[in-house]
Structure formats: structure tokens, C-alpha cells
Structure 1
Amino acid sequence: MAKDDHHLPRDPAAATDAASHPAKALHSWAFLDAVVESVPAMLVVKNGRDGRFVLVNRTGEELLGVPREDLIGRNDADFFPPEQAAFFAEMDAKVLASDRLWVIDEEPLKTPHNGDRWLQTKKIAIPGEGDEKLLLIISEDITERKKSAIALEAALERARAASVAKSEFLANMSHEIRTPLNGVLGMAQVLAQTELTPRQREMMDVILSSGRTLNALLSGILDLAKIEAGEVELETAPFDLRAAVTACAATFEGLAHQKGLSFSLDFDEPFQQRVTGDALKFGQIVNNLISNAVKFTCEGSVSVHAGTRADGDEVLLTLTVEDTGEGFTPEVQASLFERFVQGDGSITRRFGGSGLGLSIALRFAKLMGGDIACVSTPGEGARFTLTTRLAPAAPEAPAPARRAPKAAAPERLRVLLAEDHPANQRVVELMLDGVADVVVTEDGEAALRAYQAQDFDLVLMDTQMPVMDGLTAIQEIRQRERAAGRVRIPIISLTANAMPHQVEACLAAGADLHLAKPVTVSALFDAIAQACELAAEGV
């Protein structure tokens, strides 16, 4: 075998031309040979008849780890494992039969002396001497790119696993914190309804205020975690926009007057009253802006102004909250919407809070296709402007006349409580003292036995309990109702599991309502009234 056999094959026509024009031929073959050797990819030519290597360039030699003189005249079966050689032969036959370019984006290759590699390969049949066909193969080594992709996918999988772990941790911590907090706030509310001395009343107010602040902080952290995990979705339904803004303002108007501040609320006219959107998240945004304005203003005024205008098929709301309070510098403004950042972040700051409110409000606003902008001068107050996009809604239809209840509600309810925490058992008993007879069970299985043994007007069901969890117990109650043809009993999930997927799980199991701990006396009574009303209407 000649030393030059691994270079470009020469056909007879080219040889004749080279004989008559030696300088031209020398230049052409030297040029083409240099091009082939310089290609930064493996370039191989095979004999179409038996798959033997006719040409291999320098990159191919380096990639395979075999000298070219050992490759020329031999085929894949001489170097590669049988399965891989058979695959190459099958693919080569398809390429030769099709006369078109074949592209293999990712091709594993076990090289004889260079380890496992990944190639991106292009194959096409080209004419040889006479009727002979050759196979031109160009392969780019993408091993490092493939390794990077695998490493990236592994990193993404670790990130997904970490996100799941974080969500599970937050769900568990939410439950573990809300459960004792329900005991603290519940008992404090019950005690607040008794006769107390002024000194005791003051101490009780501090307990209630601190407990509510802790509950709000917990909810804020969970909201932020859900946003960062991409788990927050807008729940759209028609609502009264003017009434929603008015309710938010009314919440803080009394506090403003207690501080000696003037408070005003006005609307542009005309104003789009009925819209479709997420009323709950909208209320959280507006509540945060007004709350901050009142909190950071010691004297002067707080004003709220709202206006709407049509923007194509949408309603663009602009709501401005302006105060004459502390204000802040441009440096503070630049980081004001970052989580855990406050306008006054010093150790001796006069105002409390977690610094989560504005961060959550801004993210909710962006989910609604809007934004929050702020302008402030230190010592001269601040102006926050919220914009959101909402869909117009038809005017609210008159409420249908309510049907008369099937039966008058009993004067004293018979309530089945499934709750494993002793403090929370006692909280509910005290909250319902005088209005209900409460039968307490410590797990779902015991609740089923009690349900079978006597009649109840209502079930209050915890979720996380030993022996049998609340979801399983609810499902079993609904199944037994259907099997026995019994009247559907109202079931309220009274639980510290308050994350969205947990609420959905309770309702999917068959609960009529979900009530998150810590629960207030008024919220418990409202839920019971609603559940009894639904039962009376046969819903």
C-alpha cells in the first residue's frame, strides 16, 4: 500500500489532466489535500461496495486514536464492537440507497483507543470510479457539548428536587406553625370575650396583635415561596372593582383617624365598576399599599385615587396611594421591592414588618399585566402608583330569590370534631360553647365510628391525624352516605394545611368548605353558617 493512499482518490480523468498540466495538477491536489486535512471534523470516505476506508483525515485519525495507515483498506468490523459495526453498516446501506444527505444529531461511538465519544454525523453517497459509489462521512465531536448538556440536565433535576423539597418543607412548617398558633390565637380570642380588667385587656390585645402579625408573616413567606416556584396562578371571576377598593380603604381608614391623619378616597368618573380578575390578589396589593402609607405617616394625610380606562378589550386600572409620611431616598427606592427590604432598615427602626409586602405586591401586579411605580422625597412623603389589566364584566345580575330552607336550623348544633391536637380540641370546644354540643375524636377512624353511631349536623375535620388522615375519612363518609342513601352532611376541613394544592385536595375529597388555622371565632361561625345554609338548600 502506497504511503499516499489515505489522501484524496484520483480518477483517470484527473490523472490525464494532471499529465498534460503538471503544475496545475500539483497545485489542485495540494490545495484540496490541505483543505481536507484542515477540516476541524472527522472526514472519512468509505468504499460503497464493502465499507472499507478509502480516506481519513488528520482529525479522524486523532478522534479514533488509530494511525491512518492502519485504517485504510479495513472496515468498521475491524475496529468497533460487533453491535456498533452492524449499526454503521446498516446506516451506510440506507445512505447509499437513498442518494440524499443523512444527519445524525447524536451518535454514540466507542472508539478503539480514545474512549466513548458522541458525534454529530452527516453522511451522503458520492460517485467514485465508473459505477462505483463512495460514502462521504463528516463527523463533529460533540462529546464535551453532550457532557455539558447532561451536566445541565442533572443540575436542573437537582434544582427541581430542591424545589420539591422546599415546597414540602414549607408545607410541613406551615402546618407545624399554624397548629400551635391556632391554640394561641383561639384561646386568646375566647379569653378576650370574658370579663377582663383594663390591664388584662391590654395584655390580651398585645397577644392577639402579635399572633396576627406572626400569622401574616407566615402567609407572606408562603406567598413568596409559591411565586418563586411558579406555582401562583390567577383565579379569574367577576367582581365589583369599586367595592373592592372601598373595602381595602375602609380597613385602614379607622387606623389613620386614630393617628390623627386625614384620609380620602375618590374615583374618576366614569369608572368601570364590574371587572373580571383575581379579587383576592388584587385586594392584597391594595391593602399593602394603603397599609404602608398609614404605617409610615405620622402626621398629615393619606389619599387613595382610582381611575379606569378602556384599552382595547381590557380595562386599565390606575390606583394611586399618596402620603405625607417619612418618604425615602433614591438609594432606598432602588431596592424597595426586594424581599426582606424596608425603607427603614436600621437596627433602631421605628416601624415593624418583614419587608415582604411590596415584593409580593409587585409580583402579583406583574402577574396581572401591570406594575407598581413609586416617587418619593425624604421627609415629604411618597406616592405609589399601581397599574393592572383586567377584563370588563357584565353588570351583576339580580340575585335569585333564596329557597326556603328544607328544615329550620336546630337551635343547638351537634358537631363532630376530628382533631388530634389537645389544645386545638379545647379551642373549638370553647369557641362553640353555648351554641353546639361537640363530640371530639382524635383521628379519622374514630370519627367514622362516631359518625356511624349517632347523628350530627356538621363535621369539622382536621387533615393530618394518626391512624386515618382527614382526607381518607372525608372520602369514607361520602361513600357511606351514598351507599346508605343518607342526607349529605356538611363537612368543613379545619386544618393547618393551607397551601393551594392542600385546599384543592380537601375539596376534592368531599369537604364543602376549607378553613385554615389559625381560625378566628367569626370565621368559624361564618363557615358553619355557610355550610348549614348549603345543606339546607340541598347543595
Structure 2
Amino acid sequence: MSGTGFGRLVRFLGASLARMFGGRALAAAEAEARAADARLREAIDLLPEGVVFLDAQGRYVLWNKRYAEIYHRSADLFSPEARLADTLRMGVARGDYPEAVGREEAWLAARLDKLANPTGERHEQRLADGRWLMIEERRTSDGGVVGLRVDITEMKRQAAALEDALHRVEVASRAKSDFLSDMSHALRTPLNGVMGLAQALEATELSPRQRTLAQEILASARELDGLVGGLLDYGDAAHEADAAPAALPSTVEAAPLRILAADDNPTNRKVLELMLGAAGAEVVSVENGREAVEAWRAGGFDLVLMDLRMPVMDGLAAIRAIRKAEGAGLPRAPIIVISANTSPDDLAASASAGADRHIAKPVRAETLFEAISAVL
């Protein structure tokens, strides 16, 4: 602890009182001034924050014990004749300020600018031992500076812990979404085959007994679809559930179309071929997104039906590739996504990639033809 302001005050008061009251008054005044000085220093030392007073030239006037503890690597430089600016320069040279490493002059210039213009604006400072400080400096009435240093290391640690916890929650949320998406795909893909083939079977010439069995298969499949939707918290609204039996149309807008269908599941490809073939459309099926892009580049298709989860190239990448090729001069392709994944994120991803519609598996004939009619 050191300071010159109070010493000068004591000498001034002593000289003045000596002239007025003589030796005894002088001694009493000096004793009182020393006592006041000691009380003030003790009060400042008891503060839990670091406090420093500078004169108008930036020299140390007074600092408390906490300030010296915070800057223990530089405490040997504190003296009434020293300037804080010089201590900062020495600290930079010693490596006391990690953020200054590699940009010493720029860091020092910015710090000295704040010191020369102490507006009270708070800023942070990291020390070599890993601690973080909050610094606040203000101008005093005599042109000096009073500075406050608060150790915020624990606050920083807690903030980092909170950020880490929030990140873990976000990761867990993504994992949950991925799990639901995987479950949706795993359950609805075979269910799509069951419902599609049952619908195709129902549209053929059947005996009354056979038609009843086909309708029971469809009813059971729809009930299972509803259960799957509830389990995955998607519900039936995403794919416009309809409890009424669906009959395949014989002539619709699909009749003159040449359609490219991409799906890695052979049963699902068969379902689309049966549905569209019954309506008179020509269907070319491929197993992955890359084959879909290559087939589309060859030309001659009126419509693309695209699954999302496929090997080699997924549906979203294939849609983006087709849209990019269209920008180079190919005609625009109406694209309908047919996927077991129907979460809001999946719908948004399809739209962002460039799909015109997104319908859910298990796909129903009436839903498929409504989508085709809409995009055409």
C-alpha cells in the first residue's frame, strides 16, 4: 500500500496549523490527519474488489491490498512515481496478458486509449493465470482516474457450464429428432409396401371373399399407420389420413405421363409402378439419387417422384442436383417427395432443396394423384 495525496494533505495542514496555533496544535492536527489517513486506507483495504487511484499524469496515488493481489505479477512495479501505462507495457512484455500475445502493440494501444478516456464503460481482461477481470475506470474531479477490478472468473466458469449444458440439450434434441426420423423410416417403409400392394390387389378382379380380405388388410394397415403416427408424435394429418377405402383411378391426368421414380426399396418401387401403371402412366424406376439425376439428365420425363433416404446419393442432394442442372438450361422438373419422414424439419428440408410437394408413406393412391395433379 502506498500513496502521496494524503501525505501532501498532512504536510499542508500541518504547515497551516503551525502558523496559526503553534506546536501543540500542529502535533494534534498531524495525529488526527494520520488517524484519518489510516482509517481511510483500512476501509479501502477491506473492499473485496481491487481499487486504484491515479493522478492526472496517470501515476499511482493509492491502491488497496486486493488490487495488489490481483496483479501480483506486477505489484513490484507499483510506486507513487510509476505510471500505470508503464506497468501495462512491462506486463505485456512479461506475457501477463494472453490476449496481447502476437498483437502486443495493438493490444497496448487499445488499452491505453481506454485508460486515457475513462468513460466508466466496463470491459473484460484475461490474466496469464487464467483469471478474468471486469474493469471499470472513471475520471475524478482533479483529472485523475479511479479504477475498479472485479474477479469474474467464477461467473465466466458458470456461463461456460451453462452454455455447455445448453449445447448438450441441443445435441440431445437433435438425437431425439434423428431417432424419430429413423423410426419413421424403418416402420413406414414396409407399411407403405403393404398398403400399396393391398390397394393394387383391391383394384383387380376379385371374388367377394378376396375383396373382403383385401379391404381387411387395408383397414389393418391404416390402423397400424395411425399407431405409428401417434408413436412418433407426427399424427395422421401430415399425410391426409382418410379411413375410406381407396380405389385406384383408371384414367386420370397421369395417363400420358412418363414418370421417374427413385426409391431404394424394391417393394415401394413396385407399389408406385402398380399405382401409376394402372392409371396409364409409364414409370421408370431407379434405386438411388445418383441414378435419378443421371436418368433425368437423359431427358424425356414429365415428373419425378423422389424418396429421401437412399444410398449413394440421398433424395435432397438429388433434388438440388436436378435444380442446378435446370439452371444450366434443362427444363424444370416437377418433383414430389414421397418419404416416411414427415416432421416439420423434413418438410422444410424438402422445400428448401426445391421439391414441389412432400407426401408421406404409406402413400395412398388418391393422395399421390392429387399431388401429381397439383404440381402439373
Deviations 1:237-290 (A, max 9, x none): xxxxxxxxxxx9xx99x9xxxxxxxxxxxxxxxxxxxxxxxxxxxxxxxxxxxx
Q: CA deviation at 1:425?
A: 1.0
Equivalent in 56, 63, 67 of residue 60 of structure 1: 67
| 1:37 matched to 2:45 | yes
- Where do residues 300-339 of structure 1 align in structure 2 (5 Å cutoff)? none
Equivalent in 191, 206, 224 of residue 181 of structure 1: 191
Q: Please tell me the root mean square deviation across aligned C-alpha atoms, in Å.
A: 4.1
The runs of at least 4 aligned residues of structure 1 exceeding 6 Å deviation read: 66-70, 85-89
- Pair 1:421–1:13, CA change in 2 (3 A): same
TM score, norm. by length of structure 1: 0.52
Equivalent in 116, 124, 127 of residue 106 of structure 1: 124
Indicate the SS of the match to 1:80. helix
Deviations 1:105-145 (A, max 9, x none): 312233xxxx33212222245478xxxx6543221111211
Indicate the SS of the match to 1:103. coil
Indicate the SS of the match to 2:6. coil
| CA distance in 2 between partners of 1:483 and 1:44 (Å) | 68
> Where does the alignment leave 5 or more consecutive residues of structure 1 unmatched?
224-247, 255-407, 535-539
Q: CA deviation at 1:59?
A: 1.9
Deviations 1:295-352 (A, max 9, x none): xxxxxxxxxxxxxxxxxxxxxxxxxxxxxxxxxxxxxxxxxxxxxxxxxxxxxxxxxx
| 8 A contact 1:179–1:518 mirrored in 2 | yes
Equivalent in 195, 201, 217 of residue 204 of structure 1: 217
| CA distance in 1 between partners of 2:76 and 2:325 (Å) | 83
Q: CA deviation at 1:421?
A: 0.7
Indicate the SS of the match to 1:439. strand
Q: CA deviation at 1:184?
A: 2.7
The structure with more strand, counted as a fraction of residues: 1
| 8 A contact 1:496–1:517 mirrored in 2 | yes
- Pair 1:432–1:410, CA change in 2 (3 A): closer
Indicate the SS of the match to 1:9. helix
Q: CA deviation at 1:477?
A: 4.5
- Pair 1:57–1:175, CA change in 2 (3 A): same
| CA distance in 2 between partners of 1:126 and 1:453 (Å) | 80
Letter in 1 for 2:45: E
Indicate the SS of the match to 2:233. helix
Equivalent in 358, 364, 368 of residue 520 of structure 1: 364
Q: CA deviation at 1:424?
A: 0.5
| 8 A contact 2:14–2:29 mirrored in 1 | no
Indicate the SS of the match to 1:498. coil
- Where do residues 139-538 of structure 1 align in structure 2 (5 Å cutoff)? 139-193=149-203, 194-195=206-207, 197=209, 200=213, 203-204=216-217, 207-218=220-231, 220=233, 411=255, 413-436=257-280, 437-451=282-296, 455-477=300-322, 488-531=332-375, 534=376
Q: CA deviation at 1:32?
A: 1.7
Letter in 1 for 2:364: T
Residue matched to 2:21: none
Indicate the SS of the match to 1:432. helix
| 8 A contact 1:8–1:33 mirrored in 2 | no
Residue matched to 2:134: 120
Bigger shift: residues 196-205 or 23-32 = 196-205
| CA distance in 2 between partners of 1:92 and 1:524 (Å) | 67
| CA distance in 2 between partners of 1:195 and 1:503 (Å) | 41
> Where does the alignment leave 5 or more consecutive residues of structure 2 unmatched?
18-24, 98-103, 245-251
- Pair 1:196–1:79, CA change in 2 (3 A): farther
Q: CA deviation at 1:186?
A: 2.1
The structure with more helix, counted as a fraction of residues: 2
**Identical pairs, percent:** 34
- Pair 1:109–1:222, CA change in 2 (3 A): farther
| 1:28 matched to 2:46 | no
Letter in 1 for 2:292: A
| 8 A contact 1:495–1:517 mirrored in 2 | yes
Q: CA deviation at 1:455?
A: 3.4
| CA distance in 2 between partners of 1:441 and 1:183 (Å) | 17
Indicate the SS of the match to 1:138. strand
Letter in 2 for 1:469: D
Indicate the SS of the match to 1:189. helix
| 1:13 matched to 2:12 | yes
- Pair 1:212–1:71, CA change in 2 (3 A): same
Residue matched to 1:376: none
| 8 A contact 1:7–1:33 mirrored in 2 | no
